[in-house]
Structure 1
């Protein structure tokens, strides 16, 4: 499972950056905690709908067949909720405010509302500096780019059971110049505990998804919690 997660993280980073050189993780800067006069905004990018992903070596006909056979699972996966991820910014803001920092939640952001910056590595891919008009100096931005299940195939033959997946990235962006003060992809892949193919409700797979979602949320919060404690 650890190898699968590493592969998933690599593919996720490649997906996020396209053909360009991937942005490597950036450790959270200490200035985050020394500049108490700065206002920190926390937001999520509008969340995707949970989906079923079919990966592997498949022709168009293979994909059509596999998609049809996965229709029952898809019907269930599309009912999975991401409401707890939407509440992560408020949790983080509450913890920041409790420790004496100035922080506030922002409404979910649409990337289409922000111009692509064309910036080099070390800077956000979109220009978020207009958010300074909302009296925000630094932006903690949580992006979820995939949620649901993935299953690999060779032609019409499954080569794995469905695995639940939650993946994205967390950034801290200095709105003075759009520079990244923190960058960390996250990915959680979890198998069902027991039989997965128990339609139409798929209870074991559903439980695995919400465990993966919770683990991802804790991974998002952990770097901030750890440094807040040591910065006191």
Structure 2
């Protein structure tokens, strides 16, 4: 009976490991086929007779992103071990993200571009509905910013960490023409930053906080620099 139970556990572990390998392959494929960045042309700055709506989408819950070769049981164990860090990350202040529509709008207006911030912090919008959304706000173009990942990333093999945790911030910005849905600008940024010194400092994790602050600043600045470069 014991041998049968042990065999079942081994089979489950192997199947769960295979499942995560498949998911990892699918994720890698998605990353490879991800849309490329698109540089904003000077034509955008020359044309003044249009209105740009600036919006953000709903932010994800900040967390520990566990990457690497893990089975389902491994993942659950690692998740439990990261419970305190996840609890801290979930409380992360997202004021900087909610302020981005105002930040971009102020810079656009300073360059004589008519623009308006959309301040809904819980916006969930599919690409196919961009046109309807911008039209409903009497706009012509949509500048939409998405925070897709925020927190800490750490590599694992089974339940063994194979790297120190790093702060992690992933964002995408797009400018969409409302009439023909053309992508006029796109910038994707994925920032990882080392955590200096000891990282495991509950409950406030000061070194994690400092590293994450730098990752956020770098990602945010990349978007701003890409859009407003030389203008």
Same fold (TM over 0.5): yes
Which of 81, 102, 106 is matched with 2:114 structurally? Answer: 102
- Structure 2 gaps of 5+ residues are 1-25
Q: What is the number of equivalent residue pairs in this alignment?
A: 205
Q: Tell me: higher relative CO, structure 1 or 2? Use CA pairs within 8 A at least 6 residues apart.
A: 1
After superposition, the Cα gap between the structure-2 partners of 1:84 and 1:19, relative to the gap in structure 1 and judged at 3 Å, is closer
Match of 1:224 in 2: 227
- The 1-side partners of 2:70 and 2:109 are apart by 50
**SS across alignment from 1:41:** strand
CA contact (8 A) 1:186 1:219 kept: yes
Match of 1:9 in 2: none
- Pick the structure with greater CA Rg: 2
After superposition, the Cα gap between the structure-2 partners of 1:203 and 1:61, relative to the gap in structure 1 and judged at 3 Å, is same
Match of 2:102 in 1: 90
- Structure 1 gaps of 5+ residues are 1-13, 115-124
Shift of 1:224: 2.6
Shift of 1:20: 8.8
| More helix per residue | 2
Shift of 1:95: 1.5
Alignment deviations for residues 8-41 of structure 1 (CA, whole Å, 9 cap, x no partner)? xxxxxx8599489431111112221111111111
Match of 2:128 in 1: 126
Does residue 188 of structure 1 match 2:174?
no
Question: 4+ residue runs of structure 1 moved beyond 6 angstroms?
Answer: none
Instruction: Please give the root-mean-square deviation of Cα atoms over the aligned residues, in Å.
Output: 2.1
Alignment deviations for residues 130-157 of structure 1 (CA, whole Å, 9 cap, x no partner)? 1223221111110111001111111111
Which of 62, 65, 77 is matched with 1:53 structurally? Answer: 65
TM-score by length of 2: 0.82
